Amino acid sequence: MRRSPRARRWRLEVPWGEPARLTAPRSMSRIEVERVLHEKRAWIEEQRRSQVPRLGLERLAVSESEARTGAWELVSAFAEEEAEQLGVAYRRIRIGDQRTLWGSCSPRGTLSFNWRLVLAPVEVLDYVVVHEVCHLRFLDHSQRFWKLVDWRRPRWREQRDWLREHGPELLAFRASE
Ligand SMILES: [Zn+2]
């Protein structure tokens, strides 16, 4: 539990694989805190139950630098191929350590990707790359953007669903160095 001078109301989070975290405003009394924790006990347990490791990541001894290099190589190859197909160009590719994001495309043409994608099935990594390359054509999530994605990768929904289901576990993964 953490007190925050800036918090207007309490917030309860159950980060993947970590203890539950309650952020409370200074004004919240001890009794109110106890009440929230009591009322939310079942919810916390439900969150915990959905956080069962299924990807076998704990068995992987991956160093972050190796993973980043691997991610960069794969992402670059896929992005180059897709950009050529679509007749678009990007400025550079950045591999980052985003906590919540898989990929992004800046208005100036920088494509950024989360290095943890290299731990996902290759079709999933491919979809994220293609999604961002399609943003070089349309920098929004308009109908014509999704039409383009649909044309390039008709099975993109399967990859998106995989990310929804397993993404939190992937994002919680810490490399060995
Ligand atoms: Zn997008």
Cβ atoms of 83 and 110 within 8 Å: the answer is no
* Of the candidates 48, 160, 175, the residue with the CA atom closest to the CA atom of residue 119: 175
With 70 as the cut, is the pLDDT of residue 58 above it? no
| pTM greater than 0.85 | no
Interval between CA 104 and ligand 1 midpoint (Å):
7
Interval between CA 132 and ligand 1 midpoint (Å):
6
Compute φ and ψ for 102, nearest 5 degrees.
Answer: -95, -40
Cβ atoms of 149 and 134 within 8 Å: the answer is yes
Cβ atoms of 47 and 17 within 8 Å: the answer is no
* Of the candidates 74, 72, 132, the residue with the CA atom closest to the CA atom of residue 107: 132
Q: Which residue has the higher pLDDT, 7 or 112?
A: 112
Burial of 80 (0-12, 13-18, 19+ CB in 10 A): middle
pLDDT category at 59 given cuts 50, 70, 90 is low
Going across the sheet that includes 110-114, the strands are: 92-96, 110-114, 103-105
Give the mean pLDDT of the chain: 91
Interval between CA 21 and ligand 1 midpoint (Å):
30
Interval between CA 38 and ligand 1 midpoint (Å):
39
Interval between CA 128 and ligand 1 midpoint (Å):
9
Max Cα distance, the chain (Å): 62
